[in-house]
Amino acid sequence: MRIFLMGIFIGWSLFSVAQDNAKAREILDEVSQKTRSYPSVSASFSFSMDNEEMDIHERNEGTIYLKGQKYVVELPEVGMKVYSDGETLWNYMEDGNQVTISSVEDNTNELMDPSSVFTIYEKGFDAAFIGEAQKDGQILYQVELYPDTDAYAVSKIVLYIRKSNSMIHSASLHGTDRNVYSIEVEEMNTGTELADSFFVFDTSSYGDLEVIDFR
């Protein structure tokens, strides 16, 4: 999924690197601005976690809904749902019919916040435009993000962005623990506006639900 071209950077002038950084920022800014222009976004995706050293390969299908800082993530294969209305976070597990509730401000890992997927590059990362790639008959921009802080336990994030419409095709996060987390957007819908109540977990809909409130 990734094209590792670090060797190409060797011997380049600082001017050339600066140009590529500017190109990467231009692409990412366009993605961010376009996505924010929609009232809400929903997408089906595949999510995988791989660790070659430990021979771990997991893959799940899911759906994500975004509206500003609000989001819902559904992973039916593992019986998990995550809701956030921007202030409160609900993590529901079908196994045990249990939901844990916490405050968004108490969850400081931005990389685990789906609402930050289009803005995470704005702080804490250096961006590099790698080039163009072809996949599934589409031309994609490849942009890589490298942390300039120890705040994130990642070595890099690789983004593939559709050249035709400036929407994210796929992304992979390379952890310092050698885990690689990848997500590929399969279908995206930008034509439906979701009500704010959609992003609030309704405890009354789950029968004999165990509620663990950490707020």
Tens-place pLDDT, residues 115-161: 555 556 666 778 899 999 998 889 999 999 888 877 778 888 888 98
Segment 178-198 shows an average pLDDT of 88
Residue bearing tokens 């961010």: 32
CA angle 141, 162, 132 (to 5 degrees): 25
User: Which of 80, 104, 84, 62 has the alpha carbon at shortest distance from 199?
Assistant: 84
Quote the pTM value. Answer: 0.75
Q: Are 143 and 2 in contact (CB under 8 A)?
A: no
DSSP state of 197: G
Q: Are 139 and 158 in contact (CB under 8 A)?
A: no
Query: 12-213, which class in CATH?
Result: mainly beta
pLDDT bucket at 205, cuts 50 / 70 / 90: very high
pLDDT bucket at 11, cuts 50 / 70 / 90: very low
Tens-place pLDDT, residues 37-86: 888 888 888 888 899 889 989 888 888 888 888 889 898 988 999 999 98
Q: Are 205 and 99 in contact (CB under 8 A)?
A: no
